[in-house]
Structure 1
């Protein structure tokens, strides 16, 4: 792909991820493989609006700019394909939690509220979740080999989770941390501002059972007395397939959402 001239260079490739449990809930997943060395004027990026281009231009590192631009363009392409609309004509807003959502009316058709979607990117990949039936959240993280999970443990993990990781063999702790991190981020992104547990993502637990691709985190608050306020129990999560060296998780609301109609 790198040898192609600019006019034919692809900045990213999108593929569907088969996650049966998510599919049964009406949640679709797309993996985006990003060419971090592609030019920022690659044809696929022409769908971005001025605001998205400006945000990409503010990154100091070129690969960060490409990662952001490609993830946004892929999100546009994915949502547009689902709705049968031109990708460059979609308008996005952000809610108070920073989650993107469709806004406005396209050609007399109301688009806001038709889909809930979420995007995450790390390294050379992005992950997109979308659903017309559920509120969704997603997270993907590159497992940085030299990253010491203990430096952020107290801000990410509950006390029992830290103890659980420390009980594992040294060579298993790194991956276990990233599994916990992606699950918590996916749940919080799906939940938005609804989480009120003290301690943020360290205020609920996801470890304790089997983990990794195809397994569901055991989600529960650290303090059972706060379960009614947290909202965490209203969401399901599942670790999903990810490229080698990455961890990924998707979360969705147990209750179906009511989509808007044009």
Structure 2
């Protein structure tokens, strides 16, 4: 099931699976992945890692038209995984995010991308976090909103920033206040990379529809020729 250049698919899947399914997924993992799982002492975290990696292999194998066990991964300097085979990497890029028992996978036909999924938590000190991690302009815009709109706006900003950083492969080693994103209700997703303007102009941001209580965003190098989000199940 090859993807056309610039085509993007986003799918969601559960990391909490039945024991029989978990065993089947575990059989798909590499020796390194099995060793990593074995080192994880928390049973829930370990099982979710196995389910996440096994399902990732299954999905990517469909696009690559090969067996899940034969998919080989490599990692960038900051740990971003990619397909080790150069030809496969050129034609298929992916990024995975997870929150508790839920994972979201973005796959594209040859364009770099990043995705972030967050569960809205009302108890976090999001205004203080915004002052620390956001641009002053973003923090001020957040504070200007009615209180009942602030939490959603915070996560809108956070997921857009995180998706861009994941797409670049830097993670939070690059400060989140070195670039700006839109966050006000009704505004389209906009990226303004103050540190690397030319780089930022090559990327686009996209909101991903998720159930109430969650927020998700996608960052992509270029504009998607087609963006398909498979239903949250």
TM-score, normalization by structure 2: 0.82
Q: Distance in 1 between matches of 2:5 and 2:181?
A: 22
Q: Distance in 1 between matches of 2:190 and 2:89?
A: 33
**2:26 is aligned with 1:52:** no
Q: Which residue of 2 aligns with 1:69?
A: 50
User: Deviation per CA, 1:224-262, whole angstroms, max 9, x where unpaired?
Assistant: xx4436x22211011101233211111111179xxxxxx
User: Deviation per CA, 1:58-117, whole angstroms, max 9, x where unpaired?
Assistant: 334322223322222221111101111100111100012321111148xxxx53433111
Question: Structure 1, unaligned stretches of length 5 or more?
Answer: 1-22, 257-262
CA shift in 2, pair 1:252/1:58, >3 Å: same
CA drift of 1:50 comes to: 1.9
Q: Which residue of 2 aligns with 1:78?
A: 59
Question: Structure 2, unaligned stretches of length 5 or more?
Answer: 225-233
Q: Which residue of 1 aligns with 2:158?
A: 181
Q: Distance in 2 between matches of 1:252 and 1:142?
A: 22
Q: Which residue of 1 aligns with 2:175?
A: 200
User: Deviation per CA, 1:132-186, whole angstroms, max 9, x where unpaired?
Assistant: 2311111111212322213422343111111111111222211111111111111
Q: Which residue of 2 aligns with 1:91?
A: 72
**2:190 is aligned with 1:238:** no
3-state SS of 2:201 partner: helix
Q: Which residue of 2 aligns with 1:4?
A: none
Alignment size in residue pairs: 221
CA drift of 1:217 comes to: 1.5
TM-score, normalization by structure 1: 0.74
Q: Which has the higher contact order (CA 8 A, sep 6+)?
A: 2
Q: Distance in 1 between matches of 2:5 and 2:84?
A: 27
